[in-house]
Amino acid sequence: MPYELYYWDGIQGRGEFVRLALEEAGADYVDICRGSASKGQGMPAMLAIMESGAGSDIPFAPPFLKDGDLIIPHVANILMYLGPKLGLAPKGEGERHVLNGLQLTITDLVAEVHDTHHPIATSKYYEDQKDEAKDRAAEFIENRIPKFLGYFERVLQQNPHGPSHIFGNALTYVDLSLFQVYEGLRYAFPRATAHLGRRYPHLTALHATVMKRPNIARYLESDRRIPFNENGIFRHYPELDKDTA
Amino acid sequence: MPYELYYWDGIQGRGEFVRLALEEAGADYVDICRGSASKGQGMPAMLAIMESGAGSDIPFAPPFLKDGDLIIPHVANILMYLGPKLGLAPKGEGERHVLNGLQLTITDLVAEVHDTHHPIATSKYYEDQKDEAKDRAAEFIENRIPKFLGYFERVLQQNPHGPSHIFGNALTYVDLSLFQVYEGLRYAFPRATAHLGRRYPHLTALHATVMKRPNIARYLESDRRIPFNENGIFRHYPELDKDTA
């Protein structure tokens, strides 16, 4: 039975981190909200699960994964579950938790990216919090991008197996997520990220390597890869971007 | 060998969710930053790990847990690791991921609580972002508290084993974390949470039950429980609080 991914149609958003893992592994999966209602798919299928009274496994928010009867919400949780099954994570318990720790740091970064355009209220339009967004984005560019990317660069550099992967000597789902973060930050903040190659050489090399992997390259060319847009997490609002030293 | 918890001294903060699990289970643990430097503990011991060049397992931020050589960062990750060992989680893989999903929703809530007093920049003082904090706190009170607590109330109500626990028929670490969230929200927003008992009866009952558990009651009375204060996540700034309908 294929994995079922439930996430909003029309954006990469948080769902993209899961899509990249499924695509790299060539896994059999259905992106439910992008399917047609005539097949029992589409948005109504997602809402039916979220509004059901089935028990403790009802998700708070998309994305969530359905594997048979099991419903698993939250990106890092989905990836931790899928990782060993897709050959994108070690199987040892301790190693899985170390990897999950790295992914949860990406989760925090992604939440901060979201808040650069919605610092006050998710329920309100960007236009209604633009001044605050400018302040928050400036802080993000000045302090948070260096802190997060500096951290990942350092972990790559310190990997005893070499800087090609964030963990161990093989590709993991965290490498794929770092590709997506790098891609997203460059889309949202082209000026602020102009220096990435110089300042974060190992991260930049990792991004290039992931992009060239056959399954990822095919996916990026396909219409399954939704282009970045201003409804997702990474949004390009030129007024929030700026040059850095 | 005792578990070692690494977290800032002087606040409950995110570390408290881990402390509650360790205390409930009567686990042998050391709260490293609260120990003395003469024993190789205290803040320098934490910073030594964070600044070391040891590899992929260096945490981005506290809290982290050390179990022998294994270093595990992020609250939900630590609790997922400890849960089965402390008897506070089921051992089945699927169930562990469902429980982790619930805990990650608490993680998101806690991040939003933090941002009510720091909506623009973690690197700046609250006083320098007070106006924005008022707007963000108003949104939090009006929309986010009902969304999160309404969700947990619904999950309790839908638990096929009854509403005494958030998952299954026994206490888990998520029950303990919900106690802490309830406690923290009441501390930070006494006016906005005046209605909790009426609107979220199952959550309120869970909070009362956890508080009376012998190990938790002893812990709350001890000097190991740091009082809430205005350096932690849950801060009481009267100007951010308000009555709700």
The CATH number given to whatever domain includes residue A98 is 1.20.1050.10
The whole-angstrom separation of Cα A64 and Cα A62 is: 5
Query: Among A64, A86, A108, where does a domain finish?
Result: A86
Q: Would residue B52 count as lying in a domain?
A: yes
- Cβ–Cβ of A135/B135 closer than 8 Å? no
- Is residue A216 located within the same domain as residue A120? yes
Q: Would residue A201 count as lying in a domain?
A: yes
**What's the length of chain B?**
245
Q: How confident is the model at residue B164 (pLDDT cuts 50, 70, 90)?
A: very high
Taking the Cβ of residue B101 and every Cβ of chain A, the question of whether any pair is shorter than 8 Å is answered with yes
- Is residue A73 located within the same domain as residue A126? no
> Smallest CA–CA separation between A93 and chain B, in Å?
8
- Is residue B59 located within the same domain as residue B169? no
- Is residue A109 located within the same domain as residue A143? yes
The tens digit of pLDDT for each residue in A204-225 reads 999 999 999 999 999 999 999 9
Q: Would residue A13 count as lying in a domain?
A: yes
Q: How confident is the model at residue B52 (pLDDT cuts 50, 70, 90)?
A: confident
Q: Would residue B22 count as lying in a domain?
A: yes
Residue of B nearest to A151 (CA): B60
The residue-averaged pLDDT of B177-186 equals: 98
Contact B14, B7 (CB under 8 A): yes
- Is residue B109 located within the same domain as residue B174? yes
Q: Which of A38-52, B10-24, B179-193 has the lowest mean pLDDT?
A: A38-52
* Number of domains forming the structure of chain A: 2
The whole-angstrom separation of Cα A14 and Cα A106 is: 11
Residue type, position B83, single letter: G
Taking the Cβ of residue B170 and every Cβ of chain A, the question of whether any pair is shorter than 8 Å is answered with no
The whole-angstrom separation of Cα B164 and Cα A123 is: 32
Q: Would residue B233 count as lying in a domain?
A: yes
- Is residue A219 located within the same domain as residue A118? yes
- Complex-level ipTM: 0.97
B160: chain A residues, CB-CB within 8 Å: 55
Helix, strand, coil tally for chain B in percent (to 5): 55, 5, 40
The whole-angstrom separation of Cα A75 and Cα A16 is: 9
B81: chain A residues, CB-CB within 8 Å: 93, 97
The residue-averaged pLDDT of B163-190 equals: 98
Taking the Cβ of residue B237 and every Cβ of chain A, the question of whether any pair is shorter than 8 Å is answered with no
Query: Among B86, B104, B137, where does a domain finish?
Result: B86
- Is residue A136 located within the same domain as residue A114? yes
Q: Please give the residue range of the domain that contains residue B114.
A: 93-240
**What's the length of chain A?**
245
Taking the Cβ of residue A139 and every Cβ of chain B, the question of whether any pair is shorter than 8 Å is answered with yes
Q: How confident is the model at residue A245 (pLDDT cuts 50, 70, 90)?
A: confident
- Is residue B125 located within the same domain as residue B157? yes
- Is residue B23 located within the same domain as residue B65? yes
Query: Among B39, B68, B86, where does a domain finish?
Result: B86
How many CB pairs (< 8 A) connect A and B? 142
CATH number of the CATH domain containing A41: 3.40.30.10
Taking the Cβ of residue B91 and every Cβ of chain A, the question of whether any pair is shorter than 8 Å is answered with no
Name the A residues in 2-61 with CB < 8 Å from any B CB: 53-61
- Is residue B67 located within the same domain as residue B133? no
**Mode of pairing for the β-strands spanning A3-6 and B3-6:** unpaired
**Confidence at residue A56, expressed as pLDDT on a 0 to 100 scale:** 75
φ, ψ (nearest 5 deg) of residue B64: -140, 160
Residue of B nearest to A106 (CA): B60
Question: How far is C-alpha B223 from the chain's CA centre?
Answer: 18
Q: Would residue B245 count as lying in a domain?
A: no
Query: Tokens 């899928």 correspond to what residue?
Result: A82
Residue A126 has pLDDT above 90, yes or no: yes
Contact B71, A99 (CB under 8 A): no
* Structural Rg of chain A based on CA atoms: 18
Angle at B228 between CA B126 and CA B220, to 5 degrees: 165
B120: chain A residues, CB-CB within 8 Å: 119, 132, 135-136, 139
Task: Among B56, B70, B80, B158, pick the best mutation site for testing chain A contact (most A Cβ within 10 A).
Answer: B56
> Smallest CA–CA separation between B19 and chain A, in Å?
18
Task: Among B97, B118, B145, B149, pick the best mutation site for testing chain A contact (most A Cβ within 10 A).
Answer: B97
Taking the Cβ of residue A159 and every Cβ of chain B, the question of whether any pair is shorter than 8 Å is answered with yes
- Is residue A158 located within the same domain as residue A229? yes
B148: chain A residues, CB-CB within 8 Å: 60
The whole-angstrom separation of Cα B178 and Cα A166 is: 33
Q: Would residue A245 count as lying in a domain?
A: no
- Is residue A111 located within the same domain as residue A196? yes
Query: Tokens 């040891």 correspond to what residue?
Result: B54
